[in-house]
Amino acid sequence: MQGIDDIAAALADLDQAGRRRAPRLVEAHEGMRVRIAGRWLLSFASNDYLGMAAEPPSADCLAALARPVRLGAGASHLLSGHHAAHAVLETELAEFVGLPRALVFGSGYMANLAVLTSLVGRTGEVFADRLNHASLVDAAQLSRARHRRYRHNDLAHLAALLSTSDAPEKMIVSDAVFSMDGDAADLAGLLDLARRHKAWLYIDDAHGIGVLGERGAGSLAAQSMRRDFADYPMAIYMATLGKALGVAGAFVAADTRVIDWLVNKARTYIYTTAMPPLLAASASANLRRVVDEAWRRQRLAEHIRAFRQGLEGHALQLMPSATAIQPILVGADRDATRLADALQDAGLLVPAIRPPTVPEGTARLRVSLSAGHAPEDVARLIEALRTNGRG
Ligand SMILES: *Cc1c(COP(=O)(O)O)cnc(C)c1O
């Protein structure tokens, strides 16, 4: 961009291509219903899988906040911003996922930048699933390591790439649950390859924590990988606190030495103000609710079953997902937008996801189900899809 006119022209081009984006203002909200441009819509567009972000803070949460807790951290962790609420949350999170230590970050994006840039450098190689989240792509680029991408969930391809590598530092990086597809990575297969190649393994469980596995402990629990992960000190786990956990922020859990290294090296830990202690205390309160309120996971599971069953035998193309993320593959950008518009006319908010967020030719609707939905809400979505989704 040489000047302001170039920006105007580029924006016009995006407009022309139907790819210009702007945030929709949520003027009011009530559970999973949101008011946008004066109209109430039933939302299937959040990552609030347990419905906790949409609720007023629980009594438990308010009680936790009533104790002396600061709003602002006042500084970065290493200066004077590391407070009791952070320390408590880190202990609880490590215990929750079954790894030695946890470190909280302001966001998942920052956590991903932290891990990749601290552990691999110019001479290293990052082996990444093609469908990894954008923050992992950016993290790999910022690390300056060679970025090698393997076909989605194709461990044979990954193995082939690893066997051609003589880089001194290697890191395998994968989403545990893919954010635009809803399918899962094979954690045992990934760990096995990491061990054989003495590579780091970094797993981003943004969409698994809170919803998958016993007690909602995430993808490691769901795939019975807690012990194996803990036994391999080069395995690193990350999850966010802003999706199922309903607050904001993220954490990395790993071997104690890895965490100490991040504290010393990770620029997105060192050069940024610590997460507000108020939010850390809220995350602790919500973590207890994840464990105690198993009905949320059961309800979500019922919604997933009902949704897939309700569209069985219909022309709409569901993707092979067993999670709260239930995309409907459409193909052409325009068709995805048209279907999303038709649903919106019917009072339903379901985002059309288009390139570059997903590969060209795979535009889709990203239906995201939540325990905050009532069975009638899911039935209404199924009905609207059946009516509007005929090819
Ligand atoms: C949302 C998401 C992130 C980013 O987390 P934030 O806390 O929102 O910054 C990282 N990885 C994956 C897979 C995500 O879905």
Higher-confidence residue: 18 or 188?
Answer: 188
What pLDDT shows up at residue 291? 97
Give the lowest-confidence range in 271-280, 287-296, 309-318. 309-318
For residue 55, which of 269, 236, 310, 286 has the smallest C-alpha distance?
286
| Number of residues that make up the chain | 391
Q: Whose CA is nearest to atom 14 of ligand 1?
A: 206
Which tokens in the block code for residue 18?
């139907």
What pLDDT shows up at residue 337? 92
Calculate mean pLDDT across residues 19-48.
Answer: 95
Taking the CA of residue 177 as reference, the ligand 1 atom at the shortest distance is 13
Taking the CA of residue 243 as reference, the ligand 1 atom at the shortest distance is 1
Q: What is the pLDDT of residues 80-103, one digit of tens each?
A: 999 999 999 999 999 999 999 999
What pLDDT shows up at residue 21? 87
Q: What is the pLDDT of residues 178-196, one digit of tens each?
A: 999 999 999 999 999 999 9
pLDDT more than 70, % of the chain = 99
Q: What is the pLDDT of residues 134-187, one digit of tens each?
A: 999 999 999 999 999 999 999 999 999 999 999 999 999 999 999 999 999 999
Give the lowest-confidence range in 21-25, 108-112, 161-165. 21-25
What pLDDT shows up at residue 66? 73
Ligand 1 centroid to 378 CA: how many Å?
25
Q: What is the pLDDT of residues 296-317, one digit of tens each?
A: 999 999 999 999 999 998 889 9
Residues 98, 99, 101, CA angle at the centre, nearest 5°? 130
What pLDDT shows up at residue 63? 78
Q: What is the pLDDT of residues 45-67, one digit of tens each?
A: 999 999 999 988 878 777 777 77
Q: Whose CA is nearest to atom 1 of ligand 1?
A: 206
Ligand 1 centroid to 57 CA: how many Å?
22
DSSP labels, 263-297: HHH-HHHHTSBPPPHHHHHHHHHHHHHHHH-HHHH
What pLDDT shows up at residue 19? 81
Calculate mean pLDDT across residues 266-274.
Answer: 98
What pLDDT shows up at residue 391? 54
Q: Average model confidence (pLDDT) for the chain?
A: 95
Rounded Cα distance, 36 and 41, in Å: 7
Q: Does residue 256 have a pLDDT over 90?
A: yes
Taking the CA of residue 249 as reference, the ligand 1 atom at the shortest distance is 7
Pairing of strands 363-368, 325-331: antiparallel
Q: Whose CA is nearest to atom 3 of ligand 1?
A: 108
Ligand 1 centroid to 240 CA: how many Å?
6
Rounded Cα distance, 28 and 140, in Å: 38
Ligand 1 centroid to 383 CA: how many Å?
31
What pLDDT shows up at residue 18? 79
Ligand 1 centroid to 228 CA: how many Å?
24
Best substitution site from 204, 238, 279 to test ligand 1's pocket, by max atoms within 8 Å of Cβ? Answer: 204
Ligand 1 centroid to 87 CA: how many Å?
22
Calculate mean pLDDT across residues 334-353.
Answer: 95
Calculate mean pLDDT across residues 232-257.
Answer: 98
What pLDDT shows up at residue 59? 80
What pLDDT shows up at residue 356? 86
pLDDT more than 90, % of the chain = 91
Residues with CB under 6 A from ligand 1: 107-109, 112, 133, 135, 175, 179, 204, 206-207, 240, 242, 250
Instruction: Give Cα 176 distance to the centre of its chain.
Output: 9
